[in-house]
Structure 1
Amino acid sequence: MLFGMAFNALCLALCIALGAAEFGPAPRITWHLKEINLMHFHVPGISSYSTLLLSEEKDVLYVGAREAIFAVSSLNVAEKLNEAYWKVTDEKNNECAWKGKSKQTECLNYIRVIQPLNDKTLYVCGTNAFQPTCDYLDLTDFRLLGKSEDGKGRCPFDPAQSYTSVMVDGELYSGTSFNFLGSEPIIFRHSPQSQLRTEYAVPWLNEPSFVYADVIRAPANNLQGDDDKVYFFFTEVSVEYEFFSKVLIPRVARVCKGDQGGLRTLQKKWTSFLKAKLICHSSENNLIFNVVNDVFILKHPDLTEPKIYGVFTSHLNNVGLSAVCAYNVSSVEEVFAKGKYMHSATVEQSNTKWVRYNGEVPKPRPGACINNEARAMNYTSSLNLPDMTLQFVKDHPLMDDSVTPVGNKPKLVLRKVIYTQIVVDRVKALDGNSYEVMFLSTDKGMLHKAVSQDTEMRIIEEIVLFPHLQPVQNLLLSNKEGKKFIYAGSDTGVVQSPLAFCEKFTSCKDCILTRDPYCAWHPVKHSCVNILQESNADESLVQQLNGDASQCPDSDEIQNSMKHTVKSGSTVELKCSQKSKLASLVWQFNKKALKTELPKYHPLEHALVIFSVTERDSGIYECISQEEVGDIKVSQVLLKHEVELEKVPATLESTTHLYTEPEAKSQTTTMSTKVLELSTRKKTTAQILTTPVAVTGVSTRLLESTTALTEMHSKVPEVQMEKAMYLTKPSDCSLLICLVLLFALLFLILLAYNCYKGFLPNWCLPIRTLLFSGKQKTPPDYSDCEQGVKENLVDSKCSPSQFEDTQKIPHDTGYETELDCGNGTVPQAVKPDESGTDQPFDVKCDLKYADSDGD
């Protein structure tokens, strides 16, 4: 078994590393919030809308949030009916904070249990600052009765802990943690008659994460005389497998509703508790999904037995894969009723192992409900079961056999999506067949609607539920005929969504191609309608779930059109968009296929761009959507574009010929060349000042040419044609003028800066003195020093008397060196040699380098 797990993990890692393939179908359509009108409920200052309870008889949805309980209309959740606030006291809040919890977040009261007790009372429980408390909510005036019962075993301590609960005939069944640290998991039944719980032992529950609980009723007048059963679904750390780290295993556990515990063994403990492994494995991709996120049990009159749907992910390497597996309840019952048990055994050179138990099983069968077989053996209650049976189930709660899915494979495997919640509806289509439609929420606030047809799984649409990417914490389905909705709760609010958006499809082909069991085309209304809302629906409704749109009349096809009048040589954009992600766009021009390639055409995702439009491009462009459904290709025209050139007056045509003759083109080209040469010629200031004659000559020639063009233009009538008027528009030279002015400004700034720094000749200094007379310091009087290097003698004389009065501070160069005199500056006065002997130099300069070590 160890090698099998290692092999599966290795295959999974290889699959991820190689990027095996895209898994699962893509959603055909995505509906954004701005496209659909969803009902939202949110109260400022309130968060964590994670508990939902629907009363279909009263059309009321109860919402449990942080320190508040709300009643809203199930037909429009934006309509608030009642509210009740349940806040923690300051004493409990401070006590919780003293234990190391967050005073602002964790030490508040999160409502985690809302269950119906009777028609007038709800049973509610909250975390209550890590002191779980339960109370009763009176629906008459919508207020808490203040009984404040201890909520241990019924509600988690930590709002982040997993939990689940279900009310069965006035008794609360819950799966949660029983202590502050969350280290004691428990499956608990709270009732006035008897309270039962699981054994606190690793073989019973090993770090479980509860996700769902529900009751499955025994069929009336069944031959076995079986009991109602409550199922719990969770993920826990495996005890039967060993790996490098903890291995998570999805489980299903079951207890009997009539269980009363044992008389001596398992007193006040479950005598019918058994658990088994859920298999969700894709053999095609060799992927194992070992974490169950949510479960939904579909109960429908058309079904011979309930069906269990679960959404799974894989925690190995966090691969970002989700799967949906379906199980028959009979498969689960067969494992518990006929499967092999596991028991702990000591294996050589190893710790305790869990292996299959092949010994004798006592009778009545351990973990079984009290049925006709047990009654025939005079066991009418769990209280009188033999100790051998009770001791066996205490030591062997884990089954060796596993529950396999329908078809031995997942119904859906999807990549880059993490499903959080699931609900399933069953709808009867117009073809007489019933389809099971799955609604799957994601950790990014999306809702996927998927349906299985002919062994093909399709995701009909994707709905954006919340404006921000946030996980959906709860999902609820209304089963009331004609009023079916989906309710989703998150940290910021509750959203109500219809089961289908049939009215969004405006053509018959669109309505058929969606292949939604809820939608059909109404030929009389010329609209796509929801078959559940058409009480008087007749046989004229068109619905083909195979995508065959041949029954659609041509008159129902979209006939939208747009007209574009463009100038010759310009560019035009023809817009066209479609909702279906499975379809492709093609273009037709005058009823012929158009090859959209550069440089003439540039196809975009939602448009077609045509460059340099000419007379040959005038005509009708059709945007066509093509979608393949099996062997059928369905095409429909989405939009028509009529493109035509702007008509030019006759006078404009005769004028245009003047400028299209070769001679006129030559003259215009020569003139443009001269203008460009003049504008781009670079001259210095001195050159411009010293060559006025040349500039004047060019200016004279330009003036003459411009005069000639002006005379020619005076003979041309005023028209709106660019080829006739662009030479006479002063705005055409605006860019050139701006560039010239910019360069002139930069030259003046540079000239002023150099003058200020004293870098220019003496003719600039008077101007500088005038401008900065109040700020200018007297420049240092440098004496002329001749420096030369000769082979025998170097004469360099500088009068030291000039520097006796003023000491100059050298410019900081960043080096710690002695002052030099290489630039003729003498740092200090030097006295002549007392001996009077002439020295080669009158000034002493001890040269030191920047990198030399100073004394």
Structure 2
Amino acid sequence: MFRAQERRCAGLARRPPLPLLLLLLPPLLRCAAAPRTASPRILTAALGEKKFQFDTTEKHIAVYHEQGSSSVLVGAENKLYYYNFENSTRHVEPFGVNRSKSMCRNPEEATNYLTLVGKYQGKVLICGTNACQPTCWNWVDGKKESGISAQSLAPFGLNKNAVVFIDGNDIYSTVKKYQYNGRIPRFRRVRGSTELYTSDTVMNNPQFVKIVAIKQEEAYNNKIYYFFREDNPDWPRNPLAPRKISRVAQLCKGDRGGSGSFSAAKWTTLLKATLLCVDSATNRHFDWLQDVFIIESDHWFETKIYGLFSNEWGYSAVCSYSVGDISERFQTSPLKNYSGKIPAVRPGECLKGDQQTPPETFKVVDSYPEVALQMNGKIIFYSKHHYHQIGVHEVQAANGVTYSVLYLATDKGSIHKVVVLPKGAMNILEIQPFQSHAVILSMILDHSRNELFVASADEMVQVPMATCGAYKNNCESCVLSRDPYCGWINEKCTSIYEHDNGTVLQSLSHDVPQDICASSDYRPPSRDSSSDYVKNVTVTPQSRHFLNCSEESHYANYTWYHKDRPVAHCSSGHHHCLHFIDNMTDELYGIYSCTSQEDWFNQTVKTEYLLKPSEGVSFRYAASVGWASMPSLSFWLGFLHMIAVVLIIR
């Protein structure tokens, strides 16, 4: 039944011609009330956020932020932005090009996109496309200087498959070395130790996602892991298999290439494994890796890898993996489709000192780079929203327990704040960092400052992780938020960083005790009691009117009451609770109250007093429009706004 209703709603969500809106209003309102996956509270303007505007709308940005700093560097087209959020210091450095010396075949590409901004050998390294002549500079004391060769450090034009990772003196890159050859993407080590690249046979049309470095007890065992998607070789033979498959590949940092001429410049320790993210409760598979985030541990094998995946329906899931499990899988799994004898030096094994991988080992791993056993992740969170970036922060709450908080960037330009609780993850807050709808191009977490740095094509915003003002200043809303950053103290919902942990009241569980706020004199409100603010609204008789109650917590149910009688009910999971009055009659005037109920907590969130105008006002209104029952311009504007709201909800 729900699926049929969902299909009807999907059809109605297509924007109809304006004359049909009145006919479609009743089914649209029914669709607005259809059950949906619960969403978090909405924070439209992040409390305590700071921002700065770019000079123009940028097609591409590359953001560098040093942990603990209040400043950012943003590489853009033909310019570099510097901004300090503490003292509002701002500087724009030009990085223009000489179009007459352009090497681009397309004149529109004769520009300089700064694609890499990072710390290398104690200096800030900046590299850009430079009109198809990639160039690097150093940024020293607020000035640009000539830098190292940009070969494989910057692409010749904008390329989404270009990933560069700096690890100490080594730089790893997926950027091709030459402009008009090298069509097969490769993974390279381009600076530092011996330059190496992957064989053309070990990946099948890869799309690179992330590169990370993992240190182990013995330096010779240090690894580079890179994450990517590639065409599934099983798909043509098995039509039910996904066309794309997500992978993790391992390389030994100490890899020096092979001893033979064919393998001397190639990685010889590469192995790859399939990453699986499956919701066992529903058997939903999420095959499309979107992003990866690493939470390092003092013990390398406990380091967590969070993978953000999506499926063909646009739904998303977060799965976690431990580096220890991945390392063991690479060390113990047989090779897929290989039935021969394993060489003395096992494929993927890191060697001490100056030893090189023997030819017999390289021959096996070059032909059979995939391990047979797949990596099954532990599903942390599942949602019908489509996310494309992930950040993870571990925060110690007032009870001394550390909780993982996921920050998930949606395709609608908002960030969902998800806390992982003992009984499962809970989506507690939606942060809308920008004034208007904009795609999030970059999201960086500062773990020491407890802040997010979020960028769109127009601006960079600094958002505090502790946005406790979103939960109102009552104890119930504060503790029901389940936000590990926030607690109730001194009659205020406050950041735990501003007070001693032992004095803060929190409840970080799905089942919040009803008496937790006993000292706040909790009592359910009367249906006709007014909230702190009552809005008086004059409504003409026989006209149409709608009441709109914005839902702050989407784990709550909202109900409109009139004369202690419910007139509209909205289940959790929407942005607005609407009540439409088709024909205003005498008995419909009076006080309307919108109340929310979340678990055991009830509160009145909005009250409107609908008043009947005086006869003189009604006469003047009728004279101006021709007849009294005709809706006013303000009504039509409000009505169209409501329709837009309903369509947005869908």
Which TM bucket (shorter chain)?
0.7 to 0.9
* Structure 1 counterpart of 2:639: none
Name the TM-score, length of structure 2 as normaliser: 0.78
Matched-pair contact (CA < 8 Å) for 1:65–1:110 = yes
Q: Which residue of structure 2 lines up, in the alignment, with residue 596 of structure 1?
A: 567
Superposed displacement of residue 425, structure 1: 0.6
Deviations 1:772-826 (A, max 9, x none): xxxxxxxxxxxxxxxxxxxxxxxxxxxxxxxxxxxxxxxxxxxxxxxxxxxxxxx
Mapping of 1:31-430 within 5 angstroms? 31-33=43-45, 36=47, 38-45=49-56, 47-73=58-84, 75=86, 79-93=88-102, 95-96=103-104, 99=105, 101=106, 103-104=107-108, 106-119=109-122, 121-138=123-140, 140=141, 142-147=142-147, 149=149, 151-180=150-179, 183-199=183-199, 201=200, 203-219=201-217, 227-242=221-236, 247-265=243-261, 266-300=263-297, 305-314=302-311, 316=312, 319-342=313-336, 356-370=337-351, 380-383=353-356, 385-406=357-378, 410-415=379-384, 417-430=385-398
Structure 1 runs of 4+ off > 6 angstroms?
A: 16-20, 563-575, 607-610, 640-646, 729-737
Equivalent in 554, 574, 578 of residue 581 of structure 1: 554
Please identify, of 483-492 and 249-258, the stretch whose mean Cα deviation from structure 2 is larger: 483-492
- Alignment pair present for 1:30 and 2:27: no
| Structure 1 equivalent of residue 492 of structure 2 | 527
How far has the Cα of 1:53 moved from its partner? 1.8
Change (3 A) 1:568 1:257: closer
CA contact (8 A) 2:99 2:110 kept: no
Aligned to 1:697: none
Cα distance in 2 for residues equivalent to 1:305 and 1:112: 33
Distance in 1, matches of 2:553 and 2:127, equals 45
* 1:585-612 Cα shifts (integer Å, max 9, x gaps): 346678xx524389xxxxx936797965
**Compared with structure 1, are the counterparts of its residues 42 and 617 closer, same or farther at alpha carbon in structure 2 (3 Å cutoff)?**
closer
Amino acid at match of 2:114: I
Instruction: Please give the alpha-carbon distance, in whole angstroms, between the structure 1 residues aligned to 2:344 and 2:416.
Output: 48
1:605 aligns with one of 553, 568, 577: 577
Query: Cα 1:197–1:607, aligned 2, differ >3 Å: closer, same or farther?
Result: same
Aligned to 2:463: 497
Q: What is the one-letter code of the residue matched to 1:334?
A: E
Relative distance call for 1:92 and 1:491 in structure 2 (3 A) is farther
Give the structure with the higher percent strand.
Answer: 2
2:214 is aligned with what amino acid? I
Deviation at 1:172, TM superposition (A): 0.9
Structure 1 contact 51–489 (Cα < 8 Å) conserved:
no
1:799-814 to 2 correspondence within 5 Å? none
Aligned-pair identity (%): 26
| Aligned equivalent of 1:741 | none
Contact 1:47 1:493 in 2 (8 A): no
2: CA distance, partners of 1:597 / 1:515? 28
Return the alpha-carbon distance in structure 1 between the equivalents of residues 539 and 423 of structure 2.
Answer: 55
**Secondary structure of residue in 2 paired with 1:390:** helix
Provide the residue aligned with 2:516 in structure 1: 551
Cα distance in 2 for partners of 1:466, 1:90 equals: 35
* Contact 1:295–1:311 (Cα < 8 Å) also in 2: yes
Q: Distance in 2 between matches of 1:585 and 1:204?
A: 55
Residue-by-residue CA offset, 1:714-750 (whole Å, 9 max, x unaligned): xxxxxx988xxx9xx999999999xxxxxxxxxxxxx
* 1:450 pairs with one of 418, 425, 433: 418
- Show structure 2 runs of 5+ residues with no match: 11-33, 526-530, 570-575, 628-650
Between 1 and 2, higher relative CO (CA 8 Å, sep ≥ 6) is seen in 2
Mark the CA change 1:237 to 1:24 in structure 2 (over 3 Å): closer, same or farther. Answer: farther
**Given the alignment, which residue of 595, 601, 606 partners 1:624?**
595
Are residues 1:485 and 2:451 paired? yes
- Indicate conservation of the 8 Å contact 2:540/2:584, yes or no: no
User: How far 1:23 sits from its partner (Å)?
Assistant: 11
TM-score (norm 1): 0.60
Aligned pairs, number:
578
Supply the distance in 1 between the matched residues of 2:554 and 2:322 (Cα, whole angstroms).
Answer: 34
Report the Cα distance in structure 1 between the residues aligned to 2:539 and 2:403, rounded to whole angstroms.
Answer: 56
Q: Residue 236 of structure 1 aligns to which amino acid in structure 2?
A: E
CA RMSD of aligned residues (A): 4.0
Structure 1 contact 48–492 (Cα < 8 Å) conserved: no
3-state secondary structure, aligned to 2:469: helix
Q: What is the aligned counterpart of 1:541 among 505, 509, 515?
A: 505
SS at match of 2:294: strand
Please tell me whether the aligned partners of residues 307 and 328 of structure 1 are also in contact (alpha carbons under 8 angstroms): yes
The answer to whether the Cα contact below 8 Å between 2:121 and 2:168 also exists between their aligned partners in 1 is no
Q: For residues 426-446 of structure 1, what are the alpha-carbon distances to aligned partners after superposition, in whole Å with 9 as ceiling and x for unaligned?
A: 112223322111111122212
Deviation at 1:506, TM superposition (A): 2.1
Structure 2 distance, partners of 1:527, 1:565, is: 32
Q: What's the offset of the Cα at 1:108?
A: 1.6
Q: Deviations over 1:201-223 (max 9, x none)?
A: 1x32222111111111114xx6x
Deviations 1:567-586 (CA, angstroms, capped at 9, x unpaired): 99999998865412232234
SS of 2:484 mapped into structure 1: coil
* Partner SS state of residue 176, structure 1: coil
